[in-house]
Amino acid sequence: MLGDFTYYNPTKLIFGKDAMASLTAELEKYGKTVQLVYGGGSIKRNGIYDQVIAALEAAGKTVVEDAGVMPNPTAQKLREGARIARENDVDFILAVGGGSCIDYSKAVAVSKNLPEGEDPWDVYYARSEEPLPDMDVVPVGSVLTMVGTGSEMNCGSVITNRECGMKIGHVYSDDRVWPRFAVLNPEFTYSLPRYQMVAGIFDIMSHICEQYFSGTDDNTSDYLSEGLMRSLIVSSRAAVANPEDYEARSNIMWTATWALNSLVARGKTEDWEVHMLGHAVGAVTDATHGMALAAVALPYYRLIMPYGLEKFARFAVNVWGVDASGKTTEELASAGLAAMETWMREIGCVMSIGELGANESNLDAIADATFFMEGGYHVLNREEVMEILRASLAAK
């Protein structure tokens, strides 16, 4: 293990088929006015909305609804949510949905009490500032209905600004941004369309890979990552075959949370370049996040593989079960990425940014929106970004 670190996670997780039974008691710990955040209305069709409202009423809450959170929540929507929070002087924000709703809720939580004239996008995303110590941050809780981002147990928030063509994630260092609790019932994910389920599955895999493909030391965090990836591979195949396989969906939900609650990053540097590429694709095309990651991941990893050859070879053996007999290290590393590609195609991942609406004419815009990260095995330059994008565009 490298370096010294502190591990702290303040989020309470309530997991299982009966998890919703605890929601009223959790809500009673907070103030009277609750901003209820959700997306396009699917929670009304599948009955989750009624369960949430019943819990809010039982806790004696005044509910202010904030619906219509889009898959890539925008700066414009954030400004609207902050206005709703201010005008109603909300005491608590309850996000019901997936990572987009939770990310958005965190952003609203730190924006409600910004000084007049301050724009939340400029403060927290363009300038990446933290909430002022003496400024109240609204506490957030969640009822999870879509897995992938891990936002239910971390302090990250991603917002898209369509006006400037940027998608930026802010991992807050302020403990007040962490969700206070998360209700996780795997059955709530059953009604998710297959495309969204698969996007979430690859998002989970990408989160783990971003932390795994760095460093050369013998690190316990890497062994944990390998176990999480193996579990995800098995469970994803079962869930694709039967979306109502409770065991598979519960394992995927649990893996998603532990993939990005900072545990497997302890003692390591981290990469995150696939996410920077995926965010840039999403900023230009408004693509589903997990599918944008899937479309750029393999071209990126094949480009950087020579710089981290030993880890890619280990990935092949320990995650994908590739037989190392008779193979050079390079052949073994390549076989691991080939196995990953086979799995991605099997479960239904998007393999080309062309499927997401990108084309040769907007590659420059995507490259311009890509940030360069320094924690992995190789720092990209703009020419290499264009090489990755063209390789993805040409993929079949």
pLDDT in tens, 131-147: 999 999 999 999 999 99
Taking the C-alpha atoms of residue 173 and residue 166, their distance in angstroms, rounded to an integer, is 22
Read off the pLDDT of each residue in 155-170 and give the average, rounded to a whole number. Answer: 96
From the CB of residue 2, how many other CB atoms can be counted at a distance below 10 Å? Answer: 13
175-186 per-position pLDDT tens digit = 999 999 999 999
184-206 per-position pLDDT tens digit = 999 999 999 999 999 999 999 99
Strand order in the sheet with 33-37: 12-15, 181-184, 140-144, 92-97, 33-37, 62-66
Is the alpha carbon torsion for 334, 337, 341, 343 positive or negative? positive
Band (pLDDT 50/70/90 cuts) for residue 3 is confident
Structure tokens of 295? Answer: 């479309």
> Is residue 208 a contact partner of residue 229, using CB atoms and an 8 Å limit?
yes
269-294 per-position pLDDT tens digit = 999 999 999 999 999 999 999 999 99
**Residue % of the chain over a pLDDT of 90:** 97
Over 90: is that where the pLDDT of 163 sits? yes
291-327 per-position pLDDT tens digit = 999 999 999 999 999 999 999 999 999 999 999 999 9
Secondary element (H or E) of residue 268? none
Read off the pLDDT of each residue in 377-383 and give the average, rounded to a whole number. Answer: 98
Only one residue has tokens 């995800």, namely: 232
Read off the pLDDT of each residue in 251-269 and give the average, rounded to a whole number. Answer: 96
pTM (2 decimals)?
Answer: 0.96
Taking the C-alpha atoms of residue 240 and residue 387, their distance in angstroms, rounded to an integer, is 32
Over 90: is that where the pLDDT of 396 sits? no
Over 90: is that where the pLDDT of 97 sits? yes
According to the model, what pLDDT value does residue 1 have? 76
Tell me the pLDDT of the chain averaged across its residues: 97
Q: What domains are defined for the chain? A: 12-188 (3.40.50.1970), 194-394 (1.20.1090.10)
Over 80: is that where the pLDDT of 45 sits? yes
Over 90: is that where the pLDDT of 47 sits? yes
Band (pLDDT 50/70/90 cuts) for residue 31 is very high
Q: Which of 104, 151, 141 lies closest to 14 in space, CA to CA? A: 141
Only one residue has tokens 């939770």, namely: 102
> Is residue 376 a contact partner of residue 271, using CB atoms and an 8 Å limit?
yes
Band (pLDDT 50/70/90 cuts) for residue 2 is confident
> Is residue 340 a contact partner of residue 201, using CB atoms and an 8 Å limit?
no
